[in-house]
Amino acid sequence: MVVGDFPIEVDTLVVGAGPGGYVAAIRAAQTGQKVTIADKGNLGGVCLNVGCIPSKALIQAGHLTEHARGNEELGIKTENVSVDFSKVQEWKGKVVNKLTSGVEGLLKGNKVDVVKGEVYFVDKNTVKIMDDKQSQTYTFNNCIIATGSTPIEIPSFKFSDRVLDSTGALNLDEIPQKMVVIGGGYIGTELGTAYANFGTEVTVLEGTKEILGGFEKSMKQVVKKRLKKKGVNVITEAMAQGVEESKDGVKVKYEANGKEETIDADYVLVTVGRRPNTEELGLEQVGIELDDKGLIKIDKQCRTNIDNIYAIGDIVEGPPLAHKASYEGKIAAEVISGEKSQIDYLGIPAVVFSDPELATVGYTEQGAKDAGYEVKASKFPFAANGRALSLNDTDGFMKLITRKEDGLVIGAQVAGPNASDVIAEVGLAIEAGMTAEDIALTIHAHPSLGETVMEAADVALGMPIHTM
């Protein structure tokens, strides 16, 4: 007997359960909507399963390995530091499982219906959700698309056991002796640094003149200094040409300075960007407009050209950041519920978990000038911060960008220890419309890395205490 495919009706359907999708689903449910979320993969998406979280766990394990080798300057000597990499991977898996099971509990607690399967649009109010066994029709009043992105594959470097994307690099069962990283962006720099800390001989091939595109030169210099200290060989203006694989490793061919070169390694990691997952959804069935990069076009409320369909995260314009996706997810859910929310990206930070960390929020000095502002850039070095000195981690600086006319805080760049945490205060200052004086008058705990923000604010006011 054939059972009919009777449509299931929902208020809001969320397609994709990553940090954009699951946040959107929870916020939509909190506003009283009947919500279903669908994903063919695991809850938490790339970020929780094979991206942000496992990479930071691996980076932390790398830092601990480096620290375990001791520091003669501090009088600490160690011998025979060993790493059981299977245990590292086991611990990383526990971190991931804890967070993904937490997401499942949050969705259930907010009465969001979770469906596993591939989504295909039939029309502007209907989708089919398919798994291995069946196809089910869902009708919705509104839909939020949050399908994320996948690593770009270079034709001459097809992914395999030895040619890795970021997921493959996170799931190795051994510490490589040698690794080549193609692409010196934030993913390549983070994972290259992690393995260098484990003792891997790392070579980074970057096609442009500089690694970490998008960050100021002075920030990159701090990271490049540390990479050199770790023995990482960074080759810029190097064009990767091809790879020969064997059972035991790879030979990577590249061209630099007009010469063809070859490097032998155990693995090659390809990190040349990500592409949006906007294919095979049936978006053409609905007439949803894409740009020439395959990104979905949206307005200030995350709405596509189809008025009841929204898009967020890596599939829309802007940096592929988990916290950007979560922010947009809240906006879309609130707009559907009738609130007058809209996106404002100025306060969204970008972070690289390099060594030391880099973080930026709001305007850079040049970006502010390009936008027509007269600004003051006020710098404070970590070398003059008591906490950084006690951590023996003094490379880098905090730079505060303020508007000349009134001291309004409109941006900051941090290169140094815990930059990912330090930047949060400036993000709040931008969102709250605070001035350098407001920050300077805020009492900061001593000794702390956060004092660098207060000190930079003092510099902005022309009254620095701990620097000339």
Percent of the chain, pLDDT > 90?
98
Token digits of residue 116: 């596993």
Confidence check: pLDDT of 460 > 60 = yes
- Give yes or no on whether 8-151+275-345 and 163-272 have one common fold: yes
67 a catalytic residue? no
Q: Mean pLDDT, to the nearest integer, of 92-105?
A: 97
Q: Mean pLDDT, to the nearest integer, of 20-41?
A: 98
**Listed residue (279, 35, 2, 15) closest to 130, CA to CA:** 15
Amino acid identity of residue 50, one-letter, is: V
What's the angle, vertex CA 212, arms to CA 222 and CA 261, rounded to 5?
100
Asked if the peptide bond before residue 19 counts as cis, ω within 30 degrees of 0, the response is no
Q: What's the fold here for domain 8-151+275-345?
A: FAD/NAD(P)-binding domain (3.50.50)
pLDDT tens figures, 306-339: 999 999 999 999 999 999 999 999 999 999 999 9
Confidence check: pLDDT of 281 > 60 = yes
Q: Mean pLDDT, to the nearest integer, of 20-33?
A: 98
Q: Are 381 and 456 in contact (CB under 8 A)?
A: no
Q: Are 285 and 278 in contact (CB under 8 A)?
A: no
Q: Which of 67, 323, 446, 466 is catalytic?
A: 446
Q: Which CATH architecture describes the domain 163-272? A: 3-Layer(bba) Sandwich (3.50)
Residues in the chain: 468
Q: Residue 4: pLDDT band by 50, 70, 90 thresholds?
A: low
Domain map (residue ranges) of the chain:
8-151+275-345, 163-272, 356-460
Q: Mean pLDDT, to the nearest integer, of 158-175?
A: 97
Q: Mean pLDDT, to the nearest integer, of 419-432?
A: 98
From the options 3.30.70.141, 2.60.120.10, 3.30.390.30, 3.40.50.11540, give the CATH code of 356-460: 3.30.390.30
Q: Are 156 and 24 in contact (CB under 8 A)?
A: no
Q: Are 419 and 357 in contact (CB under 8 A)?
A: yes
Q: Are 401 and 216 in contact (CB under 8 A)?
A: no
Token digits of residue 199: 């003792």
* HEC secondary structure over the chain: CCCCCCCEEEEEEEECCCCCHHHHHHHHHHCCCCEEEEECCCCCHHHHHHCHHHHHHHHHHHHHHHHHCEEHHHCEECCCCCCCHHHHHHHHHHHHHHHHHHHHHHHHHCCCEEEECEEEEEECCEEEEECCCCEEEEEEEEEEECCCEEECCECCECCCCCEECHHHHHCCCCCCCEEEEECCCHHHHHHHHHHHHHCCEEEEEECCCCCCCCCCHHHHHHHHHHHHHCCCEEEECEEEEEEEECCCCEEEEEEECCEEEEEEECEEEECCCEEECCCCCCHHHHCCCECCCCCECCCCCCECCCCCEEECHHHCCCCCCHHHHHHHHHHHHHHHCCCCCCCCHHHCCEEECCCCEEEEEECCHHHHHHCCCCEEEEEEEHHHCHHHHHCCCCCCEEEEEEECCCCEEEEEEEEECCHHHHHHHHHHHHHHCCEHHHHHCCCCCCCCCCHHHHHHHHHHCCCCCCCC
Confidence check: pLDDT of 295 > 70 = yes
Confidence check: pLDDT of 115 > 90 = yes
Q: What is the pTM of this model?
A: 0.95
Average pLDDT, the chain: 97
The count of other CB atoms within 10 Å of the CB of residue 90 is 10
Strands 35-39 and 113-116: what pairing? parallel
Q: Give residue 291's pLDDT.
A: 96
The count of other CB atoms within 10 Å of the CB of residue 73 is 7
Q: Residue 5: pLDDT band by 50, 70, 90 thresholds?
A: confident
